[in-house]
Chains A and B, each alone.
Chain A
């Protein structure tokens, strides 16, 4: 299945359902603090329980290909160059040059100034260009600069925007500021032709610290129009964890129950092995169900994960492990 982000219409998705909730800081606060709490011990126990599922043979082969198709192949370094991004994009299109049956990844994820380069290399391959924006990773910039950052990336051809929330505002309880910031960035994702880039909202859960905060941030972002909610920038530890992702998956599941609308989830940072990726897929499967098991609704933000997936994929088809030299560098 090819992701269809760029063709999606981009009217405000909450469309009146939450008007009363987002009217003021106090009404928003009442709503977010009225959500059922998350018991830390229980959530972690559930995540650990799901991680004991044993996924073998045909189901493992299925999971590996699905995981490859869900990867947002990422490079977010000060040392990034056009050459590096071209190489990454080539790898995203053909992760395993030796095996044409190997699927492409969902997207490449780069800084805004690299969007044009990625776009040029990827062409109409179907692999999306995702750009981090809004003064990634700290989010510490004036609002107009964050919006300009976003518009710049969209104009350069980004299909998806990965924004960061203002964690300072969130932790000091200024929920309405965070809501409006997300809503404005979502506006900035619109293109003149009426289409818009998909918006992923990064919480930096390692800075929000509690699962209650993660659940509140999830609802805040979904009400403000996020297409995806994403755990982390990858620049703060801990990044994605299974229990944090579980809480976010419960949030998107409950949001659909209430509004009929689906929101995607993207754990990012720290997912390095096939074993880890499969644990996440099991969690999606048993928390949200099969509807979320497509690149449209679940992604992995990762760089080193892809090569481990390829190595395991080759092992599944040939019965042998081969060394890292048989898999390409990004």
Chain B
């Protein structure tokens, strides 16, 4: 047998402090809330104690952002702002390994992904939006910033989501107060250090840590001009209610239940890779995950046999091992939710199959799992599980595939697998999803807008379209 020996990435490059404060006005300061702990989900080790931002702390951060906005950042030329963004992007690349290791430790995702996807994408977003900073008058959305942006991001891609929020906001001349998720605050605080290292003027970027209360204080702060949120549909609705009737602009990027549609003439081996990447990438903690596999009945058995064989080769375990494909579930709470919905799937009569793999004794783990015999009436076909669990449904014709794919309150993404170009184009026209991938899945690029239909949210992030959320519009 060809067994791979452990190939752990060294932790020595990161220096995790015992406790962290808030990053306000260019300085790390103590928070006045109750400090909370962040743990390594792979082994439940407590990594650090992190300050909780109270209402007063959030107010201080917003005031710092306002000062930086009126006195420095909104007055600076786009070309000057770009210099800072380019500098940040380069420091991210220089400290890429450190960011990747810390991201894997705090989040549980495999180092292969944080190293090859998250961190390169983080740098790419800053480079891309740095390029827009002095060209905003050609954006189609004017060149006037909104002011102070309050941004709340999730735990599944802590650095990547930070980049999607901060890079376009700063490029357009806004200042930001960002709240990372309570289970993954560490890389945002490392990013704050990078802002210091880049000599970013104090107050342009502020990071406040905390949970739901901190987030609520931020989005409902009267001096915040713009709210940007990525996370669950439930919280998204609460934010929409909180800002209703105010002048605040809002973008929401929420949940999904994407259909990954495999036609009988698909390149089957690559489709299987796409299915695996669609649902097991980042432990399935992906809002646009291809969590519903719609496979044409004529090839369903073959696709399932190949998928199971492929799933059996997935390596689940230590996120810092360079050969790990699937890491740890981010939190005990999320693990409980995945388990609960999986049990519902079984009790509703779907057939459950999990990849044969040995799970570590400590930490939060869930084996890659697939449910067959799922119908539209099953909860696991409707609710977002946000874990490594795939629901498989079959269809007979393209129109049935479209109907089933669209039969969901969500509409973030979809995948189409076929060798027939005309079918790809017609499916893309009929699928109600913000992103439709053809013969690939989970591909992201800073130049490409991303966002949802229906309960998957509104507004677009990325590309030229991503500037709209941070500009006042064409001057009249």
Q: Is A276 an interface residue (CB 8 A)?
A: no
Closest Cβ neighbor of B276 among chain A residues: A46
| Contact digits for B404-428, partner A, Cβ 8 Å, 1 yes 0 no | 0000000000000001000000000
Say whether B270 contacts A46, CB under 8 Å: yes
Which positions 17-73 of chain A face chain B at CB distance < 8 Å? 36-39, 41-43, 45-46, 52-60, 62-63, 66
Q: How far is the CA of A38 from the CA of B112 in the complex (A)?
A: 26
> What is the chain B residue whose CB lies nearest that of A60?
B5
Query: Looking at the complex, which one of B5, B267, B440 makes contact with A58 (CB distance below 8 Å)?
Result: B5
* CB–CB B266/A36 < 8 A: yes
CB proximity of B109 to chain A, nearest CB, Å: 15
Residue B439 CB within 8 A of the other chain: yes
B401 → chain A closest CB, angstroms:
18
Task: Give the docked Cα–Cα distance between A83 and B415 (Å).
Answer: 60
- Residues of chain B within 8 A (CB-CB) of A286 are 313
Residues in chain B near residue A66, CB distance under 8 A: 2
In the complex, what residues of A have CB within 8 A of residue B247's CB? none
Within 8 A of A (CB), among B267-285: 267-271, 273-274
- Distance (Å) between the CB of A18 and the closest chain B CB? 19
Label chain A's interface by main secondary structure. Answer: helix
Q: Select from chain B the residue with minimum beta-carbon distance to A45.
A: B273
Q: At the interface, yes or no: A293 with Cβ under 8 Å from chain B?
A: yes
Q: Which of A41, A45, A53, A293 contacts B323 (CB 8 A)?
A: A53
| CB of B12 within 8 Å of the partner chain | no
Task: Tell me whether A36 and B267 are in contact in the complex, defined as CB-CB below 8 angstroms, given that A45-B273, A54-B7 are known contacts.
Answer: yes
Distance from A300 Cβ to chain B, minimum over Cβ atoms (Å): 15
Distance between Cα atoms of A107 and B268 in the complex (Å): 36
A42-B439, A42-B440 known; A59-B270 Cβ under 8 A: no
- B325 to chain A: closest CB distance in Å? 9
Please count the residue pairs between chain A and chain B whose beta carbons lie under 8 angstroms apart in the complex. 66
Which residues from B are CB-within-8-Å of A54?
4, 7, 322-323
Contacts of A37 in B (CB 8 A): 265-267, 419
When each residue 176-192 of chain B gets 1 if its CB lies under 8 Å from chain A and 0 otherwise, what string results? Answer: 00000000000000000
- Rounded to whole angstroms, the CA-CA distance of A37 and B322 in the bound complex is 31
Is A250 positioned at the interface, with any CB of B under 8 Å from its CB?
A: yes
With contacts A41-B439, A42-B440, A54-B322 known, is A59 near B4, CB below 8 A?
yes
Main secondary structure of the interface of B (DSSP, over half): loop
Q: How far is the CA of A90 from the CA of B406 in the complex (A)?
A: 68
Taking the nearest CB of chain B, how far is it from the CB of A26, in angstroms? 20
Report if B15 contacts A (CB, 8 A).
no
Q: Mark A267-296, 1 if CB is under 8 A from B, else 0.
A: 000000000000001100110001001000
B3 is an interface residue with CB less than 8 A from chain A: yes
Report the separation of the CA atoms of residues A66 and B269 in the bound assembly, to the nearest whole angstrom: 27
Evaluate whether A285 and B2 lie within 8 angstroms (CB atoms) in the complex, with A39-B439, A54-B323 already known. yes
Q: Are B4 and A39 in contact (CB under 8 A)?
A: no
A59, B2: Cβ atoms closer than 8 Å: yes
A42/B267 in contact, CB under 8 A: yes
Instruction: Check A57–B5 contact: CB distance below 8 A.
Output: yes
The smallest C-beta distance from A198 to any residue of chain B, in angstroms, reads 24
Structural contact, B270 and A53, CB atoms closer than 8 A: no
Q: A42 is contacted by which of B1, B265, B273, B313 (Cβ under 8 Å)?
A: B273
Which B residues are in CB contact (< 8 Å) with A57? 5
**Does B351 reach chain A (CB closer than 8 Å)?**
no
Question: Do A63 and B439 have beta carbons less than 8 Å apart?
Answer: no
- Minimum Cβ distance to chain A for residue B419 (Å): 5
Give bound CA distance, A55 to B6, whole Å. 8
Contacts of B266 in A (CB 8 A): 36-37
Residues on B with beta carbons closer than 8 Å to the beta carbon of A282: 2
Q: How far apart are the CA atoms of A56 and B274 in the complex, in Å?
A: 28
Determine how close the nearest CB of chain A comes to the CB of B427; give it in whole angstroms.
Answer: 16
- B116 with A52: CB separation less than 8 A: yes
CB-nearest residue of chain A to B264: A36
Contact A46 B273 (CB under 8 A): yes
Contact of A290 among B1, B5, B271 (CB under 8 A): B1
B267 touches A281 (CB 8 A): no
Tell me whether A38 and B322 are in contact (CB under 8 A).
no
Q: Which residues of A contact B267 (CB under 8 A)?
A: 36-39, 42
Q: How far is the CA of A42 from the CA of B275 in the complex (A)?
A: 12
Chain A: CB-nearest residue to B299: A36
5 A-B residue pairs with Cβ-Cβ distance under 8 Å, sorted by A, are: A37-B267, A39-B270, A42-B267, A54-B322, A290-B2
Contact residues of A with B, CB < 8 Å? 36-39, 41-43, 45-46, 52-60, 62-63, 66, 250, 281-282, 285-286, 290, 293
Given known contacts A41-B270, A55-B4, what 11 new A-B pairs fall within 8 Å (CB)?
Answer: A37-B419, A38-B270, A39-B270, A42-B267, A42-B271, A52-B112, A52-B116, A59-B4, A59-B5, A286-B313, A293-B2
